Structures are given as C-alpha cells and as structure tokens.
Amino acid sequence: MSATAAISDKRLIEMFLDMLAAERGAAANTLAAYRRDLEHAGEFFRRAGSSLQTAAPAEVSRLLNELGEDGLAAATRARKLSALRQFYRFLVAEGTIEEDPCHGFAGPRKARSLPKTLSIGEVDRLIETARERCARCRGGERYRAVRLYCLLEVLYATGLRVSELVSLPRDVLRGDARVLTVKGKGGRERMVPLSGSAVKALHDFLSLGQSVDDDVSETVATRWLFPSKSAQGHLTRQRFGQDLKEVAEEAGLDPQRVSPHVMRHAFASHLLDRGADLRAVQQLLGHADISTTEIYTHVLQERLKALVEKHHPLAVKGQVRE
C-alpha cells in the first residue's frame, strides 16, 4: 500500500483493531479502550487540520500537552500514548506511513502502585466465617451462603479473575474434578488446579440443586455453574462483591480492604511467599506478560522490608542503621 494513499481515520482504526483481535487475541474491552483513545486523537488532529495518517510529531506533542493541561492522570496519559505508539508502529509495518510521529516521545512517569492483599490468617478467617454461615442458614439464605462459601474456596484455590469465576460454564466440571479449564482474556485457555476443600465446596453447592427463590429457567440452570436471574444468566460480579463485603464485616475485617480482586492478589502473593515459581504463578493467573506477575515480588519485598524495620534489633525510628 502506498504511503501517500489517503485512508480515513475510521478505516485505519478498524484495520489496527482487526490486527489486535486476530494476531494478539485482544479482548473486547481492550479493543474498545483502544478505539476510544484513537478516536479521541483523531478528533484532536482533525481540529488541527490533520488526520491520524498525516499527523506530524509536532501535532502529537500538542496532543500530549493538552492531555496534561486537562489534568488527566499520568496513567491515563501513558495509556493513550501507548495506544498511539502501537497504532503507528502498525501503520509503518503495513507501509501506510513512512515515519512514526510518536518516535522519541517519552510517556509520563507514574508510580507503580502495589496491589492490595490480605494475610493468610485474614483469608482463613474470611473463609471460615463464610463456612460457619452455611451451618446456621436455611432455605434461600442457605443456598446463597453455600454459594458464597463455594465461590471463596474456588477463588482462593485458583486465583481466577472475578469475571472468569462468576461466568464459569456448567460443563467446566466435565473430566477431572480437580482441575478447571478456564477461558480467560483474549480467549486464551489455561488449566487451574482445585484444592481438596474447593472440590468439596463445589460438590456441596451442586448437591443443593437450584435455589428455591432464584426461579431461573432450566436452560440457564444447566448452562452456568452459578446461575442467576441477571441479564447475563449467571451471578454478577457486583452481587458477589457485595456478598463478600458482608462476610468480611462479619469476620471482623475492613470491608473496604476485601474484594474478589484482592482475593486474587492474596492467592498470588501467598504462593510466591511459599516459594512458588514466578512462571507457574503467571500461568495460573493467566497473565500474557510476566512483567504483570512480577508486581507480586515487589509486594513481598515491601513486606520483608517492613518486617525488618519493625523487628530488627538495630532498627531506630523505623529505619535500620547503615
């Protein structure tokens, strides 16, 4: 394709998104985010009398300056620049443009926040509180209590994303009951093992049958592992999050510190703390890039640092003498 042929911004964006979906298996939410960022950039360039295809480095610089003046967070500005970089690298590779107008631009520096997590004792208390709920509830309340306990056991045993957990299909239990085959981001499949307690929790939940007050259709009940009357047909992540905060408060934990995502962080942190291989944890979490998994090593480093500062005999005012 000639580098001088004019192509509409809309067509260029579609070409790029098609590549991301076909070659990288990008998820729908990822594609939607790229589309928004590129359409925003295209609109800025059009106001300047240019386009995505003809934008020069000076126009990219003005776009980045405007993003900063608008008060956007560093993480948001970095994401928008990353989208443009990948877009223009694609256009150069396709021969649509000759030079990358983003070349040489550095993204805004942003602090890498450490994920929130829970201690092993706190997770144990949370799960035990959910288990005790099951014994004292009856009817529909018992169904929901057993479901919540099952969700917690499976979540802590596997480290699934909450969207993966609540949308597990019923047929995921076919084959070896000790292993789940999960379809994650970008349609990538991975196998995750279940603990003995998670297997038992699943068995106890399924043995209850359909909730007496959920009134879901037979089709829905047989399609999803955690069926619901929601529009999706399965338990929503919001409902699970609400139930989890309730049991956290009952367990004496700050509900603001507890969420399905925090449980996923706890799963990863506790595995690494016990000596698990980083690559194995990456595979279990379904991370495409190991750099995403490496954040948990920083969590452990910070924990060890705090431990030394608190307990080392030479520590003075929270700092160890050099």
Active site residues: 161, 185, 261, 264, 287, 296
The backbone torsions φ and ψ at residue 186, rounded to the nearest 5 degrees and listed phi first, read: 70, 15
The closest alpha carbon to 52, from 67, 66, 39, 42, belongs to 42
What is the rounded distance in angstroms from the CA atom of residue 296 to the CA atom of residue 289? 13
With b for 16 or more beta-carbon neighbours within 10 A and e for fewer, the 201-226 pattern comes to bbeebeeeeebeebebeeebbeebbb
Looking only at the bridges linking them, the beta strands covering 189-193 and 179-183 are antiparallel
Contact indicator for 263, 155 with CB cutoff of 8 Å: yes
DSSP state, 211?
-
What's the length of the chain?
Answer: 322
DSSP string, 30-93: HHHHHHHHHHHHHHHHHHTT--TTT--HHHHHHHHHHHHHTT--HHHHHHHHHHHHHHHHHHHH
Contact indicator for 144, 211 with CB cutoff of 8 Å: yes
The closest alpha carbon to 258, from 167, 152, 164, belongs to 152
The backbone torsions φ and ψ at residue 169, rounded to the nearest 5 degrees and listed phi first, read: -75, 155
Count CB neighbours of 240 within 10 A: 21
Provide the sign of the torsion angle of the four alpha carbons 114, 119, 122, 126, taken in this order. Answer: positive
